[in-house]
Amino acid sequence: MLRFIIRRLLQMVGVMIALSLLLFLWLRSLPGGTVSAMLGERATPETRARLSKALGLDEPIWVQYVKFMGRALKGQFGASTGVLPGADAFDIFLKRFPATIELSAFAIILAVAIAIPMGYVAAKRRGSAVDNAGIVTSLVGVAIPVFFLAFLLKYFFAIKWGLLPASGRQDSINCTRVTNFFILDGLLTREFDCTWSALKHLILPAVALASIPFAVIFRITRASVLDVLDEDYVRTAEAKGLANRTIRGRHVMRNALLPVVTTIGLQVGALLAGAVLTERVFNFGGIGDTLAVSFFTRDYAVLQVLIIAAAAVFVIVNLLVDISYAVIDPRVRTR
Amino acid sequence: MTSPANDRRKGSDTAPLLTVDNLTVTFQRRGQEPFRAVDGVSFSVRPGQTVGLVGESGCGKSVTSLAIMGLLPKRGNQVTGTVDYEGTNLLTLSDDDMRDRRGKDIAMVFQDPLSSLNPVIPVGLQVTEVLERHRGIKRKDAMPMAADLLKRVGIPDPNRRIKDYPHQMSGGMRQRALIAIALACAPRLLIADEPTTALDVTIQAQILALLKELVEDTGTALIMITHDLGVVAGLCDEVNVLYGGRIVERGDRHPIFREPRHPYTNGLLGSIPRLDTVGERLTPIPGSVADNLPWDHACAFAPRCSQPVEVCTTNTPTLEESGGRALRCFNPVEVAR
């Protein structure tokens, strides 16, 4: 098991290096470029050359890459040129990224917590009202665009009925910042009103964001449970006279979860993309706006750190998926 | 070796442990005609006795066993008749009461040992969970018992094997593990549904020898479900031959093999290769179960029969008992004198 994890960690390092190279090349092959974005179309060749030199963009691309990697390993990602000119890109990342992670994590927990039990019940009572309701909900969840659902939720729950806050991450109360994960910060500093406020702000965006992962996880769980219920070993478990609880947990769900776990890992990618849209509707202050601005201003420093961080989250989540897969299924471990 | 169980097995006057009477299972699928998979089947098993249910695929033998176990899905299946286990009709028990009996009083060994074991939990736990459930034994205390059970069914190095997963075992060992699971609570009735079909021949013989030994040692009643007359010859005291959901012939093992009366039984015996009649062709039974006539106004086997008479397609034969045998046929095979 340990060897399995170590091997996967090494693979992950390789994936991240390859990714950083691809990203580096891709960003620099975009039309325009930092210099044009900063100086505009009418700048003289001399000013352009001077700025280019100052930013180190006049050097061959592989030299730039080696220098970038060297600094990145020390935690230096350079200064922002477009989003907040002069500010350290890593500081922008530290301020913005926790919001997106907090939102995404809350959304996926919400989706999993509802979709898996519902998927089980739907499969167990195939064709019942619960089953049909689940299928319809999941179809709606997949079909409705995230930002539209976000608008609807905002309009009804925040504006019309005033039940939940319409935007932002927290009410403007004095809160101590530790990690920039606002819920966590409140718990760490025992400012529970801060946690409560952050939680209230999180609900609507998280529900909007959870809609697609919920739908996908529900459908996969339902299909997977249906398959497993037909398996001979479930019949064996029944023939042993085991309690329903044991059959459900140990024999049905443990086997049915394998494809579900894989799906959850893949959904995290879609979730990060959805977070960018949801954040804009709720003015949530995550990486969504920052990514858009840094892209249009060709702010390489900020783009690189944000995209690499998002990719790292995706890779780490899928590493966790692989590990939990091995924990659930002994056949994976020996491979 | 004369154990009390052996004596009981010889004495035919012992009260039956299980009596199946007029068991009928009807599949009701939406948009389809109801289909009677099991059609008025009656037989009984005494303690220590081994009864065979024999027939080809689709004759209703597995459905019979699942109906006895209460394992048929509630929806779409109608089960009528009685399954009397020491005075209790199992078919009228509630789900929870039946759950208390399954694995404790009545246990079952299934056909495919790989798919019948849960692939993601160790074999030891799959044995101990029965003990935990029915005997209330803590898992820690049940583990040595599980190792003993594995040892008893002939799995070497049981203390290491209880930690193994099914995919780490051979086919024969998996079937032994399934038998150990079935025997964990010392059931008084064991149902074995084609327990050797998925195994290769040498392992088949070992498993059959194991079952025979266990039945003789413990006095467990055994219902053996098989399509393999070789298995019947080696193991069963009484044989029930099923065709199209009904019993067509019943008798003790030797009389059935020596002088089969029903053309179907005769055909089954004729389609087995024999070593003592070199050079003779095998005589297969023509057609398939798809050719069956409905039992309502004919003999279902008539289209495939080697010696049909006119009445076979117009009247339903009844199961006639005489001299310890039962036969459902208008034109039985003549006994050579």
- Let me know if residue A78 belongs to a domain: no
Q: Which of A125, A229, A240 to mutate to test the interface with B (most CBs of B within 10 A)?
A: A240
Contact A235 B116 (CB under 8 A): yes
Encoded tokens for A107: 């959304």
- Let me know if residue A125 belongs to a domain: yes
- From A17, A46, A73, the end of a domain falls on A73
Give the H or E element holding residue A232. helix A232-239
Which chain A residues are closer than 8 Å to B118 by Cβ? Answer: 233, 236-237, 250-251, 254-255
Looking at the complex, report in whole angstroms how far the Cα of residue B108 sits from the nearest Cα belonging to chain A. 7
- Let me know if residue A254 belongs to a domain: yes
Which chain B residues are closer than 8 Å to A239 by Cβ? Answer: 69, 71, 102-103, 107-108, 110
Residue B74 in this model has a pLDDT that exceeds 70? yes
Nearest residue of chain A to residue B167 (CA atoms): A331
Looking at the complex, report in whole angstroms how far the Cα of residue B60 sits from the nearest Cα belonging to chain A. 18
Helices (H), chain B: 4-10, 61-69, 95-101, 113-116, 123-135, 139-152, 158-161, 171-183, 201-218, 229-235, 253-258, 263-270
DSSP string for B113-164: HHHHS-TTS-HHHHHHHHHHHHH---HHHHHHHHHHHHHHTT-SSHHHHTT-
Task: Give the pLDDT band of residue B3 (cuts 50, 70, 90).
Answer: very low
Within this chain, do residues A115 and A241 fall inside the same structural domain, yes or no?
Answer: yes
Contact A250 B101 (CB under 8 A): no
**Measuring CA to CA, which residue among A190, A18, A206, A191 is closest to residue A112?**
A206
| Beta carbons within 8 Å of B269's beta carbon, 6+ residues apart | B229, B257, B260
Give tens-digit pLDDT for B82-137.
Answer: 999 999 999 999 999 999 999 999 999 998 888 999 999 999 999 999 999 999 99
Smallest Cβ–Cβ distance between B71 and the set A239, A242, A243 belongs to: A239
Encoded tokens for A61: 């691309």
| Beta carbons within 8 Å of B138's beta carbon, 6+ residues apart | B132
Within this chain, do residues A280 and A322 fall inside the same structural domain, yes or no?
Answer: yes
Nearest residue of chain B to residue A229 (CA atoms): B73
**Measuring CA to CA, which residue among B305, B14, B306 is closest to residue B188?**
B14
Which chain A residues are closer than 8 Å to B108 by Cβ? Answer: 239
Partner residues linked to B36 by β-bridges: B26
Contact A236 B181 (CB under 8 A): yes
Within this chain, do residues A68 and A203 fall inside the same structural domain, yes or no?
Answer: no
Nearest residue of chain B to residue A329 (CA atoms): B120
Residue B143 in this model has a pLDDT that exceeds 50? yes
The length of chain B, given as a count of residues: 337
Contact A255 B116 (CB under 8 A): no
Within this chain, do residues A173 and A28 fall inside the same structural domain, yes or no?
Answer: no
Within this chain, do residues A67 and A112 fall inside the same structural domain, yes or no?
Answer: no
Give the H or E element holding residue B225. strand B221-226
Contact A246 B121 (CB under 8 A): no
Contact B121 A329 (CB under 8 A): no
Nearest residue of chain B to residue A250 (CA atoms): B121
Looking at the complex, report in whole angstroms how far the Cα of residue A323 sits from the nearest Cα belonging to chain B. 15
Residue B7 in this model has a pLDDT that exceeds 50? no
Contact A246 B129 (CB under 8 A): yes
- Let me know if residue A82 belongs to a domain: no
B286 burial type by CB count under 10 A (0-12 exposed, 13-18 middle, 19+ buried): exposed
Within this chain, do residues A202 and A285 fall inside the same structural domain, yes or no?
Answer: yes
- From A44, A73, A102, the end of a domain falls on A73
Spatial distance between the Cα atoms of A128 and A124, rounded to a whole number of angstroms = 9
Partner residues linked to B224 by β-bridges: B52, B192
Which chain A residues are closer than 8 Å to B134 by Cβ? Answer: 241
The length of chain A, given as a count of residues: 335
How many beta carbons lie within 10 A of that of residue B1, not counting itself?
6
Q: Which of A131, A227, A236 to mutate to test the interface with B (most CBs of B within 10 A)?
A: A236
Spatial distance between the Cα atoms of A90 and A72, rounded to a whole number of angstroms = 10
How many beta carbons lie within 10 A of that of residue A5, not counting itself?
13
B303 DSSP assignment: G
Contact A241 B133 (CB under 8 A): yes
Query: What local confidence, expressed as pLDDT, does residue A37 receive?
Result: 81
- Let me know if residue A258 belongs to a domain: yes
Encoded tokens for B228: 């393999």
Size of interface A-B (CB pairs under 8 A): 77
Query: What local confidence, expressed as pLDDT, does residue B13 receive?
Result: 64
B261 DSSP assignment: -
Smallest Cβ–Cβ distance between B99 and the set A241, A255, A331 belongs to: A241
Within this chain, do residues A220 and A100 fall inside the same structural domain, yes or no?
Answer: yes
Contact B129 A250 (CB under 8 A): yes
Looking at the complex, report in whole angstroms how far the Cα of residue A247 sits from the nearest Cα belonging to chain B. 10
Query: What local confidence, expressed as pLDDT, does residue B278 receive?
Result: 65
Q: How many domains does chain A have?
A: 2
Complex-level ipTM beyond the 0.90 threshold: no
- Domain CATH for A160: 1.10.3720.10
Q: Three-state DSSP class for B263?
A: helix
* Mean pLDDT confidence for B273-280: 69
Query: What local confidence, expressed as pLDDT, does residue A47 receive?
Result: 86
Query: What local confidence, expressed as pLDDT, does residue A57 receive?
Result: 84
Within this chain, do residues A165 and A63 fall inside the same structural domain, yes or no?
Answer: no
**Measuring CA to CA, which residue among B225, B196, B191 is closest to residue B105?**
B191
Within this chain, do residues A23 and A149 fall inside the same structural domain, yes or no?
Answer: no
- From A39, A73, A107, the end of a domain falls on A73
Per-10-residue mean pLDDT for chain A, 335 residues long? 85 91 89 81 84 84 89 86 87 92 94 96 92 93 90 93 88 83 88 90 94 95 96 95 94 94 89 88 88 89 91 90 88 70
Query: What local confidence, expressed as pLDDT, does residue A206 receive?
Result: 95
**Residue B223 CA to chain centroid, in angstroms?**
4
- Let me know if residue A84 belongs to a domain: no
Give tens-digit pLDDT for B160-217.
Answer: 999 999 999 998 899 999 999 999 999 999 999 998 887 888 888 888 888 888 888 8
Query: What local confidence, expressed as pLDDT, does residue B336 receive?
Result: 62
Give tens-digit pLDDT for B315-330.
Answer: 999 999 888 899 999 9
Name which residue leads in pLDDT, B294 or B147. Answer: B147
Contact A246 B133 (CB under 8 A): yes
B3 DSSP assignment: -
Residue B146 in this model has a pLDDT that exceeds 50? yes
Within this chain, do residues A262 and A324 fall inside the same structural domain, yes or no?
Answer: yes
Contact B71 A238 (CB under 8 A): yes
Partner residues linked to A214 by β-bridges: none
Query: What local confidence, expressed as pLDDT, does residue B10 receive?
Result: 45
How many beta carbons lie within 10 A of that of residue A61, not counting itself?
12
Domain range for A44? 2-73
> Measured between alpha carbons, how far is residue B170 from residues A235, B155, B333 in Å?
21, 11, 44
Query: What local confidence, expressed as pLDDT, does residue B5 receive?
Result: 44
Contact A240 B112 (CB under 8 A): no
Spatial distance between the Cα atoms of A332 and A327, rounded to a whole number of angstroms = 9
Encoded tokens for A1: 């098991």
Encoded tokens for B89: 């009709």
Strands B106-109 and B189-193: parallel
Within this chain, do residues A23 and A64 fall inside the same structural domain, yes or no?
Answer: yes
Looking at the complex, report in whole angstroms how far the Cα of residue A114 sits from the nearest Cα belonging to chain B. 25
Measure the CA angle with vertex B68, ends B66 and B70; round to 5°.
Answer: 65
Query: What local confidence, expressed as pLDDT, does residue B6 receive?
Result: 45
Q: Positive or negative CA dihedral for A87, A89, A90, A94? A: positive
Within this chain, do residues A29 and A129 fall inside the same structural domain, yes or no?
Answer: no
- Put the strands of the sheet holding B320-322 in their side by side order: B106-109, B189-193, B221-226, B50-54, B238-243, B246-252, B325-327, B320-322
- Let me know if residue A207 belongs to a domain: yes
Residue B59 in this model has a pLDDT that exceeds 60? yes
- Let me know if residue A56 belongs to a domain: yes
Query: What local confidence, expressed as pLDDT, does residue B279 receive?
Result: 65
Calculate what percentage of chain B has a pLDDT beyond 70.
Answer: 94
Which chain B residues are closer than 8 Å to A240 by Cβ? Answer: 102-103, 107, 129-130, 133, 181
Calculate what percentage of chain B has a pLDDT beyond 90.
Answer: 59
Which chain B residues are closer than 8 Å to A236 by Cβ? Answer: 110, 116-118, 178, 181
* Mean pLDDT confidence for B128-155: 93
Contact A242 B120 (CB under 8 A): no
